[in-house]
Structure 1
Amino acid sequence: MKTNTITQTLQQENKSASRRDITNFYDEATSDYRFWSKDLNMHFGYFIFGRTNPLRRDSMGNEMNRQIYNRLQLPEGSTIVADLGCGMGGTMRNFLKKNPKLSTIGVTLSPFQVQEGNKLLKGKKGLILEENYCDTSIASKSVDGVVGIESLCHSGHSKETLREAYRIVKPGGRFVIADAFLKKEASDLCVGSSFSYRKLCKGWSLDGLGVISKVKEHLKEIGFSNVTVEDISLRVAPSVFHVPFTIFGFLLQQIFQHKKVKPQSWNNLKASFYALLSGLHLNEFGYYIITAEK
């Protein structure tokens, strides 16, 4: 079992989010995400007119899962997919419904997500491990596909994470990322964007968002080929616009149930608001699906 922690990795890159920050975020914020998605899709959704219901977050969230799954182009027969930063395993369970021959393995730093996520996977061909996705115990060249959905931003879309995906995927396998990225360096953002970006990173315990052009080049340098980048910002926008209504609804629920809003919940709510503000600056932020082949 490998022992490097995400804290060590981030310190090497002079980053600020610690393993404790990230673990606490997910341990405490999972209930917030259950309010966001009954299927525990801890990510934004993908809208297609006539196919997904823009008023239902899980309709769009599960469509995002479908889009990611299709881009993996898994071979026929028994296959294995690794989810780096799997949360409660929502995407894993969605994939398993699609393909009865599939097995899944997920990685998260949160002990709570490991415990509760594995309960939801009981009887299914899936397992969640408490590990650092920059340095997993998954054997080299052992999985047919790797996904990272709104999780790799916790390491700033670092080269270490991309290398780990390259290491564990089989030759011919695919790595699919769905996440928000910067279109320019953080130092070049306008004042409003810079403010929202800092608040977003603080609230969600992010090291930062990678610059999309640099991430693409890093994937190629590591050894991936056929790297495609799709800007799906407009597809994700209907899901993002649920944010203010979800914040208001969550606060009302806590009040009516006489529950105290936890500090991390406040941070999560504020970060969600700043994510919405950031998304309005389409010249500086974008949401992308990246597909790379080994």
Structure 2
Amino acid sequence: MKTLTDQKPTLLKFSTAVTAIPGYNPIKDYYNIAGPDYEAWSRDFNMHFGYCSRFTDIFSLEKMLYRMNDEVLKRLEIPSTKPTTIIDLGCGVGTVARYTAKKYPLAKLTGVTIVDYQLAKGNELIEKDQLQDKVNLVKDNFENISFADETFDRAYALESACHASGANKELVIKEMARILKTGGRFCIADGFLKHDKKLPWLFRKLNKKITDCWALPCFGNIDGFTATLAKYGLKDIEVKEISLRIAPSVAYVPYTCFKFFLKELWKTKTLRLKKERWNNVIAPVLGMILGLYRRHFGYYIITGKK
């Protein structure tokens, strides 16, 4: 039986969605190359959009990013009086996991990622915060994860489930349901298509460009996603669209891009960036337009339990 203390990284087994070319994984390449640039978005490497809970939040992007963390954690209903095991499915550099460990001293966090840069940077930040006994990052694939059944009390995926294959994201849901303990809670926050009907021409073009730039197999379909949660025995499912709460943080994209370009020009005197770094700028800019199609696309928080 595997435990949090003896868990070892395993060989990764990728779905066919990311192995069309042998030896090539666009997700790994994208984050290994463009990952450091996320510091332009968040000094603490919060690699997601923010949540605006009150008017004054709009004046601080970093505050909204942490508000989003709080929204996810609030829905997990983490107890403050007993030890809790929590898994971050697609943890980035572990920023949310570190934040959780500080907020809930009895919690033990495990983050999984397939990206070498994220592991190296995340472990550096964990050591800096002296959280080695509370946060553990492992190299693993959340669609075929190496933990035993019913290992964790809580699970969350903050803007990472979109990297799973298929419109219903079935493999990551299946694995999340398997490793959650009975009675355990989950929370997923991400962008989703609202239906599977024919989409407007411009929307389809934007959607294709964004998914290519961000190395996404596709955005999930919210109805198919929630149906798949139920298929694997997850219950008390609540779906809440929070697109308008996200919008103020999205509005920071142009300013962030401008700041990023100025910094690059100052350092290198050129804007000859690798494709992945350009994609990391293009995708959020186009995403601002995609988000205007409210009939077809939205940002959701989905919660429930096993």
Structure 2 residue aligned with 1:289? 301
Indicate conservation of the 8 Å contact 2:93/2:121, yes or no. Answer: yes
Q: For the residues of structure 1 that align with 2:44 and 2:12, how far apart are their CA atoms?
A: 31
Structure 1 residue aligned with 2:121? 116
Structure 2 residue aligned with 1:154? 163
Quick check: 1:264 aligned with 2:276? Answer: yes
TM-score (normalised: structure 2): 0.90
Structure 2 residue aligned with 1:95? 100
Q: For the residues of structure 2 that align with 1:7 and 1:160, how far apart are their CA atoms?
A: 9
Corresponding pairs, count: 289
Q: What amino acid sits opposite 1:132 in the alignment?
A: N
Indicate conservation of the 8 Å contact 1:278/1:285, yes or no. Answer: yes
Structure 2 residue aligned with 1:214? 224
List aligned pairs for 1:1-294, cutoff 5 A: 3-8=11-16, 20-50=25-55, 53-75=57-79, 76-122=81-127, 123-124=130-131, 125-156=134-165, 158-185=169-196, 188-258=198-268, 260-294=272-306
Q: For the residues of structure 1 that align with 2:12 and 2:116, how far apart are their CA atoms?
A: 17
Q: For the residues of structure 2 that align with 1:224 and 1:10, how far apart are their CA atoms?
A: 27
Per the TM alignment, residue 210 of structure 1 is displaced from its structure 2 partner at its CA by: 1.0
Structure 2 residue runs of 5 or longer lacking an equivalent are: 1-8
Q: For the residues of structure 2 that align with 1:101 and 1:265, how far apart are their CA atoms?
A: 38
Q: What do residues 242-280 of structure 1 show as CA deviations (whole Å, max 9, x unaligned)?
A: 111111111111011126423211011111111111111
CA RMSD of aligned residues (A): 1.9
Q: What do residues 224-258 of structure 1 show as CA deviations (whole Å, max 9, x unaligned)?
A: 00000000000000011111111111111101112
Indicate conservation of the 8 Å contact 1:5/1:19, yes or no. Answer: no
Q: For the residues of structure 2 that align with 1:38 and 1:10, how far apart are their CA atoms?
A: 30
SS of the residue 1:53 aligns to:
helix
Q: For the residues of structure 1 that align with 2:295 and 2:74, how far apart are their CA atoms?
A: 28
Q: Kindly, what percent of the aligned residue pairs are identical?
A: 35
SS of the residue 1:177 aligns to:
strand
TM-score (normalised: structure 1): 0.93
Change (3 A) 1:243 1:20: same
Per the TM alignment, residue 91 of structure 1 is displaced from its structure 2 partner at its CA by: 0.4
SS of the residue 1:6 aligns to:
coil
The farther-off stretch of 154-163 and 40-49 is 154-163
Q: What amino acid sits opposite 1:109 in the alignment?
A: I
Q: For the residues of structure 2 that align with 1:278 and 1:8, how far apart are their CA atoms?
A: 27
Indicate conservation of the 8 Å contact 1:7/1:19, yes or no. Answer: no
SS of the residue 2:69 aligns to:
helix
Q: For the residues of structure 1 that align with 2:11 and 2:227, how far apart are their CA atoms?
A: 28
Structure 1 residue runs of 5 or longer lacking an equivalent are: none
Q: For the residues of structure 1 that align with 2:14 and 2:289, how far apart are their CA atoms?
A: 29
Q: For the residues of structure 1 that align with 2:177 and 2:297, how far apart are their CA atoms?
A: 26
